[in-house]
Structure 1
Amino acid sequence: MHIGRTIAFIGAIAAAVSVPMSGLLAEEFPSKPVQLVVPFKPGGGSDISARIFAKYASKYLPQKVIVTNIDGARGRTAELEVKRARPDGYMVLWQHQNIHMSVATGRSKYDYTAFDPVASTVRTDTALVVAKNSPLKTVADLNAVAKAKPGTIRWGAAINGFSHFAYLAYLEAVGLDEKHFHTIGMSGDQDRVIAMLQGNLDVAIIALSAARPFLDSGDIVMLGVMADERSEAYPNLPTLREQGINAPFYFDYMSFVPKGTPPERVKILREAWLKAIADPECRTELLKGWMIPTDIAGPKFDEYLKKQLKLFVDLAKKYHLVEEEAK
């Protein structure tokens, strides 16, 4: 009798323990708020875009999408937090091409395939800018001086960061290399603009949304947007492509969940993400902030990620940006 009761008791415990594991697929999802993890401090482009998007994504899920900022290690602290999280769909990474830059330069041992992709839903353009009193009025002027007087034009970029890779992509497109410019390591869009205004920098590539107030005030002049075509958000701003330079370079805000998240849950998130970005109010709010709605998902997103990673890896290798030790 005693043994029988013990076996029955153990069986009951085993059944109770097994319910949550199998219940991952059975329970309603989401049954609690979903965290959208931004890898940077509040107030920047990543944070602003995430907060606008989360507000509308919440309309298409039974629970709210809440933005959580986890700053540190150039975005890797947040990446690792999501990568190591339980694969249940409640923690979503909101990251841009930094996820490619980290592995390309050797700062990370993993790439985007360490996660399950959801979708890419917001894009920000970058722009090539100079100070208002610059003698460089066009990209043709810029390239001509670079060839005639190599190393005299001071170009500011965050070394091994996004603006550095955008700079290298520009060099590739116009057939120049680093010896044609004096590269100055300088992080932060605003820091580069201020350096220009102070006469300590000649040219830089910055996020167009960050450039907007300085363009409006006339303190800086844009030579071209690094995009394939003009945006409906700013139809009067010309692209570099219009000037014969094929060097598109975007901030794509992309969403990822931990590897092994049930496909049914990834699908629920993806469908909500795509409905949110198709929402007219969401699109209007993003465009007003000079952010562009996108809807890259499924196989198209997989192919885009693969192509982007190759771009960054190839540039890092060609320009010797790979760090010896990746942590």
Structure 2
Amino acid sequence: MTRSKFTLRSTLTAIGLASSMAIATTSHADYPEQDVRLVIPYGPGGATDIIFRLISQEAEKTLGESIVPVNMAGAGATLGSRDVKDADPDGYTVLGSHDTIALSKLAGTVDYSYDAFEPVALLTQTINIPTAHSDHTVQSADEIADYVSENPGEVRFSMIPGSTDHFFWAQFFQEAGIDMDDVRLVGYPDTGEQVSALMAEEVDFAMFNLPSGGSFYEDGSFRPLGIAHPERLESMPDVETLREQGIEMDHSTSRGIFAPKGTPQEVIDTIADAYGEALENEEVQSRIENEFGSVVQFLAGEDYHEFLEDNEAALSAAAENIEFQN
């Protein structure tokens, strides 16, 4: 090859590379140019579904394109997380999930955790509530241990395997002095089916919160047995906290947005900014706090990374005393 031909080929290669970089840069700068698909790894009607839909409707006003929720329940919430994990890292597919990402790995359901994604932003924390159907003899959470003792092997607790409520009950049993061998954990694919099961009295107890159980508490179908938070909820002032009942336990669900690994930082920042602005809306804040028993807790960037590291470390430490039953 002559020197002139080599130089020409090198020049064309450099131009092509520069053009590709320019196109990529322009692509990121123009993001988004189409709808963003938000995968929610649970069925419709549960707390995760309701909260992400509420905030996303406001966030899309800032983003400039629609955020389209897609419910993808199944496999203990891992069907949806796998879909996003394996999606193109272009910002057009994101995951709306919570602690279940780490819990699924701890339970042995999957081999990945938070580090398989690019964390975008923490949005809310929802206070969890142990719950019974209205005809149950148990009136408060501190009566559950005696009820189990009187009916060993017969008391049924609903949960989604490897998810937040599975971990909630394992921790509750430990704090309340209940032997896990004396209870029956009944698995369901999503919150909607858990609601139906408790309504039909197929199970004795379930873990809900205001987004998933509020309307049933209000109409008397379900009975809240305690609040897993240091303080009572303003919307349920007569329901004692677990700590007031002698059960030293707090428990909330931390919901955030995750993108596929490799998603450009500028795209992540754009999505985080849209959700951050959405959470500044007073009406959205009011609904989150008053209707959904949750608190706005926005973290992005390094702050969210550190939060997830601490969260996973705490869950891992607690899991050493937990026998996950799938």
TM-score (normalised: structure 2): 0.82
2:247 is matched with which residue?
245
Shift of 1:164: 1.8
Shift of 1:291: 5.3
Is residue 320 from structure 1 mapped to residue 323 from structure 2 by the alignment? yes
Shift of 1:118: 1.4
Match of 1:81, SS state, is helix
* Structure 2 residues not aligned, in runs of 5+: none
Distance (whole Å) between structure 2 residues aligned to residue 188 and residue 71 of structure 1: 7
Q: Please, which moves more after superposition, 271-280 or 292-301?
A: 292-301
Q: Give aligned-pair identity as a percent.
A: 25
Q: Please, which moves more after superposition, 300-309 or 163-172?
A: 300-309
1:28 is matched with which residue?
29
2:299 is matched with which residue?
296
Is residue 15 from structure 1 mapped to residue 15 from structure 2 by the alignment? yes
Q: How many residues align?
A: 322
Shift of 1:45: 3.2
2:84 is matched with which residue?
82
Q: Is the contact between residue 25 and residue 262 of structure 1 (CA under 8 Å) also seen in structure 2? A: no
Shift of 1:141: 2.1
Amino acid at match of 1:117: P
Distance (whole Å) between structure 1 residues aligned to residue 127 and residue 227 of structure 2: 7
Residues 167-195 of structure 1 show CA distances to partners (whole Å, capped at 9, x for unaligned) of: 00111222332134344444544544544
Shift of 1:240: 1.6
User: Quick one: which of 165, 168, 183 aligns to 2:167?
Assistant: 165
Amino acid at match of 1:103: K
When residues 77 and 130 of structure 1 are mapped into structure 2, their CA distance, relative to the original with a 3 A threshold, is closer
Shift of 1:232: 4.6
Amino acid at match of 1:310: A
* Structure 1 residues not aligned, in runs of 5+: none
Distance (whole Å) between structure 2 residues aligned to residue 231 and residue 298 of structure 1: 30
Residues 184-233 of structure 1 show CA distances to partners (whole Å, capped at 9, x for unaligned) of: 44454454454445444322223432222221221221111223333455
Q: Where does 1:1-327 land on structure 2 (aligned, <5 Å)?
A: 8=8, 11-12=11-12, 15-25=15-25, 27-33=28-34, 34-147=36-149, 150-232=152-234, 234-287=236-289, 289-290=291-292, 292=294, 293-321=296-324
Amino acid at match of 1:124: T
Amino acid at match of 1:36: L
Distance (whole Å) between structure 2 residues aligned to residue 190 and residue 70 of structure 1: 13
Amino acid at match of 2:103: M
Residues 143-175 of structure 1 show CA distances to partners (whole Å, capped at 9, x for unaligned) of: 233346544533333343332211001112223
